[in-house]
Structure 1
Amino acid sequence: MSNCSVDLNLNFPEETTMDTILKTAKHPCYSECAHDYARMHIPVAPRCNISCNYCNRRYDCLHESRPGVTSEVLTPEGAYKKYLLVKDKLPNLKVIGIAGPGDALANFEETKEAIKLIKEDDPELTICISTNGLMLPEYAQELVELGVRHVTITINAIDPKIGALIYKWFHYQGKVLSGEEGAKILLDNQLEGLKFLSSKGVLCKVNIVMIKGLNDHHIPEVVNKVKEHGAFMTNIMPLIPAEGSEFEEMPLVSNKELNELRDRCSLDLKQMYHCKQCRADAIGQLSQDISIEFRGTKTDQGDENKSLVDEIKSSDLLFAIASKTGRLIDQHFGHVDNFLVYKYTDQGIALVDNRSIERYCIGKECEDKEAKIKNIVDLLSDCEAVLSMRIGYEPKKKLLENGIKSLEIYDGIEDGIEYAIKELGLKDVG
């Protein structure tokens, strides 16, 4: 193992315990000399509460390595059993991380349960989570009580005007927000949560996605602001233009540009230079992801390793919404690359997921329609209906053949779902 030592002159919060400092020396993301130690990301958090313009969360993508990608979603019990298998094979396992594929705090009950199960087995393991920070003020104290001592927060801007260009919508306290209003709430919650966690001795790493021509000039300001609020280090990462995302055509950042900015910001705060932008189900050392060796592992748990969204379908009604704004049903079915999935119950209507797809129509011609509609049907198989502003005859027919109704409507999302419930004769269901 690496002989990692800890520089006690680093920017540790005053309340940081020596135990946390020593564990940091064995955390591959927080200490570059900890490269011999392994970490395991458990993908128990599929839902996300914000829509980033650079994100396209695709499941079952075995050949990509970027945040938000996973080959499966696990229940807390499934994650625990898989952890036991990994622990048995990797004696150098020191860190369990929850990094999606959505947001750890948008799935807090699952995140909390997974942490409790694993901590009961090994209280000495380092547990860390990654979050966009929207729900940090609500859950920060519970994270401290759970023994989480390392938290990564993605903060891409401290100017709401820039934030409004990076994010499409925010689902917060039952409302879908957008623009500068949503970006301001996100920023305020991020900074409040960061300050609180730091005051409790939690080491906070701030991830910043460097988007050329959009926030690159602004990043030194971000670094200084998060330093003021107690950040231990920042990790400036290059944008990965994900196919199907709003930013898929954005220019790439060169390694030279990236490291020059990191060097500049290192004068103010410790920087991470060795990030691999890992998958949400990564296992092993940073330099050697061996998660593929554990994919499809049998854990004698029956149906426990199913999508957490799948658990909803037996008791609730799910609706797939075609929306450009995140507030209205205002998009043509053929132009959708990200369906919002809402749950309807007697208690109300709530956003539970967003699901990325390959767009059914691109340009004037729709190629490979059969394959695309099959993928869409598979992705939305648990949904009662698709609500869009327009939908063509063929996809409407294919959806119906697979038990998925469709309705053309232009309205607010919640009002549209209420209308669909009545129009499709579902009022007494659920």
Structure 2
Amino acid sequence: MTASLPPREAAPTGWTALAEAARRVEELLAALPEPGARTPQQRAAVAAAQDTARSHRVRFLDEHVDTVYDRLTEGRTANLRIGELVEAAAKEYPGLVPSEDQLAVERGRPQAAKEGHEIDQGVFLRAVLRSSTAGPHLVDAMLRPTARARDLLPEFLRDGVVQLEAVRLERVDGVAHVTLCRGDRLNAEDGRQVDDMETAVDLALLDPGVRVGLLRGGVMTHPRYQGRRVFSAGINLKELSSGGISLVGFLLRRELGYINKMVRGVHTGTDPDTGSDAPGRWHTPLVEKPWVAAVDGFAIGGGAQLLLVCDHVLAASDAYLSLPAAQEGIIPGAANFRLGRQVGPRLSRQVVLGGRRLWATEPEARLLIDEVAEPRDMDAAIDRAVSRLDGDAVLANRRMLNLAEEPPDAFRAYLAEFALQQSLRIYGEDVIRKVGRFAAGAARTAGAP
């Protein structure tokens, strides 16, 4: 790392102190053994140096975040996704966020052996999202279709089906069937699934032949649930323990990407020549559609989070849902933002803090589940549910409901703090111990949730 600002402008206030503090951290880490081999005194020295550098980052960003963001996005004319944004920041402001070389070393390590450089990304992204200028621009950039989806769109428009590794998307009579198909791992979420889900949601929203989206888990090959449908086992804790769950590429992309697109729609952009909205989109650049979720088996963690953004939730009578993030030690995405509004503060705390499991047939579960059907009747119930949501008036009313229930600025403020707090949590000693025990147990027992 070069601890100086590239020569496009004079160094802003606080930059020299930040660059020097970042250099000291790097020199200290280079002189020490890897994290697992350090003495308590060495760990304390690293923590103190990192705290000093992070204090300088916070002060610098409090004063200059809009200037930094405008420089990275060319005056907010470039719509950088969060991954592109932190990559650009690492090049333009070395020491502000971890470099690609630092992250490459981290990617090759299990979570317990990492230095925690992603926390600095959390500091940076909290500042960006908190800004009333930079934050809305970043959220807007994340609502635009991915390059992968744009590439696959002609194929999907032609064939009505796209088979991805973790998700199958098929258009049937105006319904986009988004089927989670990681049958060997109970649809446990990892980076591959997040990428495939955002691609599928983009395609469903961009296809004018789709009127309603349907989320459902596929048939499992996992030995304990073989031949049965399962919605989702939530985050893949084995992948988290091995270091494969990233803050930017998984935890933040998931919330700002496909889940937020399910709520607000996909941004169709503007004409690059005229700068005006796409033809016929003068009233809004967002294309949105209603979503139905059909829960077979269970919706754990991230699976339960998806139910909170769907317009109709149908569950089999033997299904359950839970949000065990507090037991795992992490934050359940934006569930803490949405759950209390839907079920009330007391039940929200029972589910999030106490780990309460809600069975579909419990009275309290009806605050989250609109309809319960016997497993053999799920297909017919799904057909009825998607038919009820097929209408122009549904679109207009869901837009106004979502605007009232989840104002964009409130969502952005939550995600700003989430960016920092989740970055701290995934490096918490308690999390590393818990997911390590889970991963070891999963290896012994074939990964039952």
TM-score exceeds 0.5: no
TM-score range, shorter chain: under 0.3
TM-score between the two structures when normalised by the length of structure 2:
0.24
TM-score between the two structures when normalised by the length of structure 1:
0.25
Q: Indicate the structure with greater helix content.
A: 2
